[in-house]
Amino acid sequence: MSTNKLPTQADDFPAWYVEVVKRAELAEHGPAKGSMIIKPHGYAMWELTQRALDDRFKATGHENVYFPLLIPMSLLQQEADHVEGFAPQVAVVTRGGGQELEEPLAIRPTSEAIIWSTYKRWIQSYRDLPLLYNQWGNVVRWEMRTRLFLRTSEFLWQEGHTAHATAEHAQAETLRMLEVYREVAEDVLGIPVLKGRKSPGERFPGAVETYCIEGLMRDARALQCGTSHFLGQNFGKAYDVTFLNADGATEHAWGTSWGFSTRMIGGTIMAHGDDAGLRLPPAVAPIQVAIVPIFRTDDERASVLRVAEKLRADLAATGVRVRLDDRDQHRPGYKFAEWELKGVPIRIELGPRDVAAQRVVLASRLGGDKEEVALADVAAGMAERLASVQKALYADALAYRETNTHEIGSFDAFASGVAEQGGFWIGAWCGDAACEAEISTKTKATIRFLPLEPADPGAACVHCGKPGVDVATWARAY
């Protein structure tokens, strides 16, 4: 671990991010351009996120499946908007087993194409519907400018793909999974998010509507945290997926897709971290409690470690993810700084005097005074303590977002405000894509979302002055 100070968030947020990812040993760049190696501490965060999502997918009736990585190019090209959106980002396999391939294969940038071409075989009757399937895997989207977790050529994610007999069922599914994403983002990752609908220009290629959850990072830039797409019958038609309805008539199936990725590890870092490093919500912290023993002599070492090991076992028995840091090559001060950097929510210090007094010193990553707690009470009280850290981090991020959310008074105030302070800016929009593009050019902000249902703003567009047809929330975003 480097002992140099981190760059501060205020001085250079991007440099802070790069250094935290590196020093907290979350990830690093791989040898191929845009690739990422996820290290144990980062991957463990992803595993906890996966478990939280997967449990909820299953509780809402979904099953997991696995579709191939490699997709014939011709298959990818059947839905016109979809191929137009993804073609520039595709990695192509042209050789296999020592030979040139007859037809090149795309590495999946997303799996709608291969899944809907298969659903054609799986769906005949309304009785086959809905299909509620999810897939865990990797995808590749060629990226020129990459940033660990936030934008890499390969990333890990889940992609849900469902097929339904009616538009209403598909629409309800789209919003159900958006709600699952909100719950995981807020309750697990501790990131307050707003639900909304993308403007047509920001939609997923091939979708009728794209819904999203959006969070605000501690540099006041927005991060799209998950998307859920209502596909209408677009893929049903492109891949000729039809079914006989209860009346014996043939219809095209309705679809949804939704995805949540390793990008959210980046989101968790940027939503909570401070100038000392990560601050991890306990629900996604690979180590929730670190015990640092303090001693000078061999006798002290033996007695302190005996008590510390007992405490570790007691905490582990209550389901707490606990690490006893008994490394001999580092001093306690070094260990304190390391666990602080790595965002461990609770640190326990235990020295000879603590052993004598049958107590520990407890320090929260959120700061405040250190606290002396009776040894006998530590394990029993830890779940509540962790829950309160979880709540406090969420509350902190929520307060930050509220402070950084503004109603647009005038366009000039919006333009200068979003440039100087960042944050969310809310105002009336005319619904015109050209006006949206002009605003983006002038402000470098994009519409992060519109309300779930179009809302009459009762005011003129903040930019062009034409009648407002919807309420747009703007921000500069990742």
Residues in touch with a copy of itself (CB under 8 A)? 30-32, 35-40, 43-44, 46-47, 63-72, 75, 87-98, 104-105, 107, 114, 117-118, 127, 133, 137-138, 140, 142-144, 153-154, 156, 329
User: From the CB of 97, what's the least distance to a copy of itself, in Å?
Assistant: 3
- Of the chain, the end-to-end C-alpha distance in Å amounts to 28
Which helix H or strand E contains 164, and what residues bound it?
strand 154-164
Instruction: Using alpha carbons, list the distances in angstroms from residue 299 to 349, 350, 354.
Output: 18, 14, 15
Burial class of 432 by CB neighbour count within 10 A (0 to 12, 13 to 18, 19+)? middle
User: From the CB of 438, what's the least distance to a copy of itself, in Å?
Assistant: 28
Local structure of 255: helix, strand or coil: strand
- Cα 322 from Cα 383, distance rounded (Å): 12
Tell me whether residue 106 or residue 462 sits nearer to a copy of itself (CB atom).
106
User: From the CB of 189, what's the least distance to a copy of itself, in Å?
Assistant: 19
User: From the CB of 115, what's the least distance to a copy of itself, in Å?
Assistant: 9
Tell me whether residue 88 or residue 368 sits nearer to a copy of itself (CB atom).
88
Tell me whether residue 67 or residue 336 sits nearer to a copy of itself (CB atom).
67
User: From the CB of 142, what's the least distance to a copy of itself, in Å?
Assistant: 3
Is the CB of residue 81 less than 8 Å from the CB of residue 206? yes
Question: What are φ and ψ of residue 378, in 5° steps?
Answer: -65, -55
User: From the CB of 41, what's the least distance to a copy of itself, in Å?
Assistant: 9
CA dihedral 292, 294, 299, 303 (to 10 degrees): -40
Tell me whether residue 323 or residue 359 sits nearer to a copy of itself (CB atom).
323
Name the DSSP class of 456.
-
User: From the CB of 96, what's the least distance to a copy of itself, in Å?
Assistant: 4
Tell me whether residue 11 or residue 55 sits nearer to a copy of itself (CB atom).
55
- Cα 351 from Cα 161, distance rounded (Å): 54
Tell me whether residue 18 or residue 91 sits nearer to a copy of itself (CB atom).
91
Residues 6 or more apart in contact with residue 10 via CB below 8 angstroms: none
Q: Which pair of tokens denotes residue 72?
A: 């014939």
Query: How many CB atoms neighbour CB 63 within 10 A?
Result: 10
Residue among 121, 209, 207, 132 at smallest CA distance from 163: 132
Tell me whether residue 63 or residue 371 sits nearer to a copy of itself (CB atom).
63
User: From the CB of 17, what's the least distance to a copy of itself, in Å?
Assistant: 19
- Cα 282 from Cα 364, distance rounded (Å): 11
User: From the CB of 246, what's the least distance to a copy of itself, in Å?
Assistant: 12
Tell me whether residue 94 or residue 318 sits nearer to a copy of itself (CB atom).
94
CA dihedral 302, 304, 307, 312 (to 10 degrees): -110
From the centroid of its chain, how far is CA 321?
A: 22
Name the DSSP class of 327.
-
User: From the CB of 50, what's the least distance to a copy of itself, in Å?
Assistant: 10
Tell me whether residue 33 or residue 444 sits nearer to a copy of itself (CB atom).
33
Tell me whether residue 87 or residue 366 sits nearer to a copy of itself (CB atom).
87
Tell me whether residue 22 or residue 466 sits nearer to a copy of itself (CB atom).
22
* Region class of 397: left (phi > 0), else alpha (psi between -120 and 50), else beta: alpha
Beta-bridge partners for 323: 290
Counting every residue, how long is the chain? 478
The amino acid present at 409, given as its one-letter code, is: G
Residues 6 or more apart in contact with residue 402 via CB below 8 angstroms: none
- Cα 72 from Cα 108, distance rounded (Å): 10
User: From the CB of 295, what's the least distance to a copy of itself, in Å?
Assistant: 19
